[in-house]
Chain A
Amino acid sequence: METDLNTIHVFKTNITTVDPACQLRKTLDEHQDIQQWSIDHEDVDCVLRVVSNVLKPETIIGMINEFGHECQELN
């Protein structure tokens, strides 16, 4: 089934690398409201893409900020 476009959230971040063992990865991987997530490290904007039916962009921004990273929604 195709993903509902309204459940995809896209952010500009300063997350240049995500260590396989780091807490950020663990949190996103294990979050029950996140179906899928990825960061494009090749891109200058280190774009974070989150698929979630439930989470609001502000909630995701808050989560990323807590890990000490900048995060801004891309419209």
Chain B
Amino acid sequence: MRIRDVDKEKLVIATAIDQIVRDGFQGFSMNKLAKACSISVGTLYIYYKDKDDLIQKIGAITALEYFTNTVKNFSPQMSFEEGLWKQWENRAAFTMKYPKEVAFFEIIKHSPHSEIILDSIKEFADFRKIMTEFMDNGLRNKELVPMTFEAFWSVAYGPLYTLLNLHTEGKSMGGKPFKLTKEIMKEAFSRTIKALKP
């Protein structure tokens, strides 16, 4: 009789993320993963059909966690400035707490798996709806200047992700040690919001 072992499942997920972030998809294998988790490769195949299935299932769990955290205490009814700041705070908090998951998510995002993963998460449609509503409200209330979505996204989140990348690396230009603080984030945010307001 096989019984679902939640702790083992968690170990498998964490180890897979570790290995993929370190070795990439090519260097990753079911055998290596089973060995690192001290489980038989047979057990691994009980849970996942193959390597792609495993990447997609773990990708979906990670993506869902990321989206759920991004909209925590956020409402599309918030003023544009308040809402965008909440988004910054949530995205920063998640990245700082789970840097490996975020690195894994980045690898996934630029891979052929990304569409399959996003299609498999039914909550993703809700997430997209919330974000669209937030932007629409901002436009209607004249808190946001109309622009191409990609241009908007790069201005609204680009500065944050640049700072987060520096924080994750622990150093800025020229190797100078760097730690992202709320003050620095606020500094960048105040300029970002100015750029987005009409």
A-B contact count, CB below 8 Å?
Answer: 45
Q: Please indicate the chain A residues that have their CB under 8 angstroms from the CB of B40 in the complex.
A: 74-75
Inter-subunit contact A10/B30 (CB<8 Å): no
Could you give, for residues 1-12 of chain B, a 1 whenever the CB lies within 8 Å of some chain A CB and a 0 otherwise? 111100000000
CB pair A10 B45 closer than 8 Å: yes
Instruction: Among A6, A42, A44, A47, point to the contact of B45 (Cβ < 8 A).
Output: A47
Q: Is the CB of A75 within 8 A of B2?
A: no
Complex partner residue of A40 from B2, B3, B51, CB under 8 angstroms: B51
- Nearest opposing residue in chain B for A5, CB measure: B2
Chain B residues positioned under 8 Å from A38 (CB to CB): 49-50
Using CB atoms, name the residue of chain A closest to B50: A40
Interface string of B124-162 (1 = CB under 8 A from A): 000000000000000000000000000000000000000
Within 1-36 of B, Cβ neighbours of A (below 8 Å) are at 1-4, 29-31
**Interface residues, chain B, with chain A CB atoms under 8 Å away:** 1-4, 29-31, 40-42, 45-46, 49-51
Given A5-B46, A47-B50, 7 other A-B residues pairs in contact with their CB atoms under 8 A: A6-B1, A38-B49, A38-B50, A40-B50, A43-B41, A47-B41, A47-B42
